[in-house]
Amino acid sequence: MKTNNSYLKRLKVTKNGKVISRKAGKCHFNAKESRSTQLGGKKMVSFNIKRGDLSRYLPHNI
pLDDT in tens, the chain (62 residues): 676 778 778 888 888 878 888 888 888 888 999 999 888 888 888 877 777 777 776 766 55
> Looking at the whole model, is its pTM more than 0.85?
no
pLDDT of residue 19: 84
pLDDT of residue 1: 63
> H/E/C letters for each residue in the chain?
CCCCHHHHCCEEECCCCCEEEECCCCCCCCCCCCHHHHHHCCCEEECCCCHHHHHHHCCCCC
User: CA 50, CA 60: separation in Å to the nearest integer?
Assistant: 15
CATH number of the 5-57 domain: 4.10.410
Count CB-CB contacts under 10 A for residue 4: 12
pLDDT of residue 40: 85
